[in-house]
């Protein structure tokens, strides 16, 4: 029995993601919540439409694609102003109603929204780093597809596994191409390697540009979110030793206290993350990428942490 809940269910990501979760035979109950149009989506999916509190009751897994997407010319950080408050509000609902649920944060900027959820959970005394995830799976999906493209066989894209670690924006996205299950051609030039890294790091921009003002990736994100959620659901269901071998996911870092949030390869179990795998053997070029990611990621994390601290301070001074 697994209850999955989607917060932001009527959105560009939320609708197809809800459909994919409904199609997952392991999901026995689906809760949908949005501030608009939820009854329509719920009726369409012939499922429940409930207020957040009710939707969240008994949730095992909560996926959050709520918030505004980018338009051309914007960075993910530009979304912080609006999305930080939305995510803080939803995190409060989860902390008070479904504190044991696995939480998968899709809302951007993920590098800052994950710390926001964590800080709210800490405030309510329900923070468990083993159960909180920033969804970076789309970077893994992109890396696999682009590598398959370079290998000249797109049918490989589902079987190519490339770990992508770090965060989810620009230079914080670190594809470990040397660890690809299907090695890159040894003839690949330095220029082509660098272009591939850039394409993985800035793949989101391609979609934002192509949609030309109508938002960012929704369908590929719903696919990636459902794939990652499916792994969590199998773990919740008691399946042991599920490796998220292709990357994605949240907390705990080998990189020290300053960087408490860093996507890594992990092993999942009923209680959440059972093991965080180290980066392993990486090339000099990849070490340079990791080094470049750290200051930006650190700044993004601080932005999220400070937002929650200031919000609580303001709330207390009003009391």
Ligand X SMILES: O=C([O-])CC(=O)C(=O)O
Catalytic positions, please? Answer: 168
Owner of token pair 């009854």 = 39
- Sole binder of ligand X in the list 172, 179, 216, 263 (CB under 6 A): 216
Residues facing 4 on adjacent strands: 30, 61
CA distance readout (Å), 96 to 56, 57, 117, 122: 10, 10, 13, 12
Binding-site partner at residue 93 among ligand NAI, ligand X, none, CB < 5 to 8 Å by type: none
Q: Is the backbone peptide bond immediately before 263 cis, with ω within 30 degrees of 0? A: no
By CB under 6 A, is residue 200 in contact with ligand X? no
Contacts of 310 (CB under 8 A, 6+ apart): none
State the minimum distance, in angstroms, from the CB of residue 203 to ligand NAI: 10
By CB under 6 A, is residue 115 in contact with ligand NAI? no
State the minimum distance, in angstroms, from the CB of residue 106 to ligand X: 8
Residue 18 tokens read as 């809800």
Please tell me whether residue 6 adopts helix, strand or coil conformation: strand
By CB under 6 A, is residue 176 in contact with ligand X? no
What is the rounded distance in angstroms from the CA atom of residue 45 to the CA atom of residue 72?
32
| Closer to ligand NAI by Cβ: residue 98 or 221 | 221
Owner of token pair 């890159």 = 184
Binding-site partner at residue 235 among ligand X, ligand NAI, none, CB < 5 to 8 Å by type: none
Q: How buried is residue 110: exposed, middle or buried, by Cβ count under 10 Å (0-12/13-18/19+)?
A: buried
By CB under 6 A, is residue 138 in contact with ligand X? yes
CA distance readout (Å), 120 to 39, 61, 103: 29, 17, 13
By CB under 6 A, is residue 70 in contact with ligand X? yes
CB atoms under 10 Å from CB of 277, counted, come to 15
* Part of the chain binding ligand X (CB under 6 A), chosen from 41-49, 158-166, 202-210, 253-261: 202-210
| Closer to ligand NAI by Cβ: residue 218 or 298 | 218
Contacts of 161 (CB under 8 A, 6+ apart): 140, 144, 180, 181, 245, 246
State the minimum distance, in angstroms, from the CB of residue 135 to ligand NAI: 5
* Part of the chain binding ligand NAI (CB under 6 A), chosen from 85-93, 114-122, 262-270, 292-300: 85-93
Binding-site partner at residue 208 among ligand X, ligand NAI, none, CB < 5 to 8 Å by type: ligand X
- Sole binder of ligand NAI in the list 21, 91, 94, 138 (CB under 6 A): 138
* Part of the chain binding ligand NAI (CB under 6 A), chosen from 31-39, 140-148, 156-164, 245-253: 31-39
**Per the annotation, does 142 bind a ligand?**
yes
In terms of Cα–Cα distance, which of 15, 18, 16, 23 is closest to 5?
18
By CB under 6 A, is residue 217 in contact with ligand X? yes
Select the residue whose beta carbon is closest to ligand NAI and give its number: 11
Please tell me whether residue 267 adopts helix, strand or coil conformation: strand
By CB under 6 A, is residue 141 in contact with ligand NAI? no
- Give the footprint of ligand X on this chain (CB under 6 A): 69-70, 76, 108, 138, 204, 207-208, 216-217
- Give the footprint of ligand NAI on this chain (CB under 6 A): 7-8, 10-14, 33-36, 65-70, 79, 83, 86, 89-90, 106-108, 110, 135, 138, 168, 215-218, 221
């Amino acid at each position: 029995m697994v209850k999955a809940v989607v917060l932001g269910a009527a959105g560009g990501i939320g609708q197809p993601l809800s459909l994919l979760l409904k199609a997952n035979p392991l999901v026995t109950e689906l809760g949908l919540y949005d501030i608009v149009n939820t009854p329509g989506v719920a009726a369409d999916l012939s499922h429940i439409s409930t207020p957040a509190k009710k939707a969240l009751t008994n949730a095992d897994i909560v996926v959050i694609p709520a918030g505004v997407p980018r338009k051309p010319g914007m960075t993910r950080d530009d979304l912080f102003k609006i999305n930080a408050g939305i995510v803080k509000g939803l995190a409060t609902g989860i902390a008070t109603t479904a504190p044991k649920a696995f939480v998968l944060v899709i809302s951007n900027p993920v590098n800052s929204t994950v710390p926001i959820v964590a800080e709210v959970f800490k405030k309510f005394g329900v923070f468990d780093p083993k159960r909180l995830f920033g969804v970076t799976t789309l970077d893994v999906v992109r890396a696999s597809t682009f590598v398959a493209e370079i290998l000249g066989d797109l049918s490989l894209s589902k079987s190519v596994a490339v770990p992508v670690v770090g965060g989810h924006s620009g230079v914080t996205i670190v594809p470990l191409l040397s660890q690809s299950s299907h090695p890159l051609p040894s003839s690949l030039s330095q220029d082509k390697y660098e272009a591939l890294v850039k394409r993985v790091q800035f793949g989101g921009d391609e979609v934002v540009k192509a949609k030309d003002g109508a938002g960012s990736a929704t369908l590929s994100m719903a696919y990636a979110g459902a794939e990652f959620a499916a792994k969590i659901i199998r773990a919740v269901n008691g399946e042991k030793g599920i490796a998220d071998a292709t990357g994605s996911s949240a907390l705990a870092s080998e990189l020290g206290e300053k960087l408490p949030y860093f996507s890594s390869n992990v092993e999942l179990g009923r209680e959440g993350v059972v093991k965080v795998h180290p980066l392993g053997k990486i090339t000099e070029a990849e070490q340079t990428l990791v080094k470049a990611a750290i200051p930006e990621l650190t700044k993004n994390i601080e932005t999220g942490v400070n937002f929650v601290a200031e919000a609580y301070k303001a709330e207390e001074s009003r009391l």
